[in-house]
Amino acid sequence: MSFRNQRWLGPVFLTLLLGACGGGNSLLASSGGTGGTGMSGGTGGSGMSIGSITQFGSVFVNGVEYHISGAAISTENGTQLATGMVVAVDYANGTTATSVTFTDNLQGTVDSNTVNAHSGTVRLVVLGQNVIVGKDTVFVGDAGYPTIDTVPAGAVVQVSGYTNGASGTIRASLVRLVSDSWSSGSGPTLELKGVIRSLDTPTAGTFRIGTLTVDYSSAGSIISNLQNGVYVKVESTQGYNGSGQLIVSAIALSNGGVPGVDAANGTHLTLGGVVTTALNSANNQFVLNGQTVQVGTQTTYPNGDSSGIQLNAQLTVQGNMSK
């Protein structure tokens, strides 16, 4: 499916079983769908909602307004909450937020910026990761670079969105210009989150995140369980070496080392994301933003069937975590 034909769908109410890829977490969802109307509220109790901020009043996530007065606000790299950020909202009493947490996908230098004249979309390559920018992506620039297509190679941007864990492609909901340029030792810290692949292959002291090769041979801080399949955050203050590898100074676990949702057993969850692995008719599973989804006889669809669960479609599901 080409990007221009993809739709940002409204809340998708499914009765599902979701499980984190490679982990033991699961979500037994109570509702979901591909409808166009937003949800009117939470569950009447407590839970978590993960999705992009669509507007403020308090804060709207996955079609629900959560009241954030008194909530603990946590953001990454010194940013303030903004439209387009993918956040996790912990709530009580249905719509009273107790905390709002923003964690970006990456902050890094732009390798290239390509405009598709036919579709009108923009593809950035940032730290070796493909970032797809669509008409719904929020861009925050400055007077020198007021639109996304004007951002030059070498500029530093912060990206929030939904990642295809296998390819590393990010469908951006927010791109924020951080700096017009970057230099080793003085620029903002470069950071990227992703799954370790090809550890020490073919060269010792390297692994890959998406298409990016990481050189960790001089890193001062490394996790003890460095291995393929672990979800990590890497930081760099030196940039690329002569071989085009990102020289990282620190490697830390991200989200407990597992892609998907880190939520306690029994947590009521509303999860927005992009389908990154299509529905498999053999096992009735698909992957939504790093989270495996199991559909079955208990699944309900507002359109009557599962035809809306397509690769790259954006969906929202609800249910209870089970571990």
- Could you read off the pLDDT of 170-216 as tens digits, one per residue? 999 999 999 999 999 888 999 999 999 999 998 999 999 988 999 99
**Does 34 have pLDDT greater than 70?**
no
**Does 29 have pLDDT greater than 70?**
no
Tell me what pLDDT residue 211 has: 87
Q: What is the rounded average pLDDT for all residues in the chain?
A: 83
What single letter denotes the amino acid at residue 54?
A: T
**CA dist list (Å): 241 to 107, 158, 161, 216:** 18, 22, 28, 11
Tell me what pLDDT residue 299 has: 75
Beta bridge partners of 214: 207, 246
Contacts (Cβ under 8 Å, ≥6 apart) of 281: none
231-263 tens-digit pLDDT? 999 999 999 999 999 999 999 999 888 877 788
In eight-state DSSP terms, residue 12 is -
Q: How many CB atoms lie within 10 A of CB 271?
A: 30
pTM of the model: 0.85
**Does 91 have pLDDT greater than 90?**
yes
- Please state, in angstroms and rounded to a whole number, the distance separating the CA atoms of residues 235 and 100: 24
Pairing between β-strand 206-209 and β-strand 138-140 as defined by DSSP bridges: unpaired
Tell me what pLDDT residue 322 has: 67
What are the b/e assignments for 6-35, b being 16+ CB within 10 Å? bebbbbbbbbbbbbbbbbebbbbbbbbbbb
Q: Give 271's pLDDT tier (boundaries 50, 70, 90).
A: confident
Contacts (Cβ under 8 Å, ≥6 apart) of 138: 82, 83, 84, 173, 174, 175
Beta bridge partners of 47: 91
Q: Bigger pLDDT: 304 or 9?
A: 304
Beta bridge partners of 252: 233
Q: Which two tokens stand for residue 275?
A: 């389908």
Q: Give 142's pLDDT tier (boundaries 50, 70, 90).
A: very high
Mean pLDDT of 9-25: 42
Rounded (5°) CA angle 107-163-243: 55
Tell me what pLDDT residue 166 has: 60
What single letter denotes the amino acid at residue 209?
A: I
**CA dist list (Å): 123 to 140, 176, 236:** 16, 15, 23
Percent with pLDDT over 90 in the chain: 54
3-class DSSP assignment, residue 257 = helix
- Please state, in angstroms and rounded to a whole number, the distance separating the CA atoms of residues 213 and 15: 39
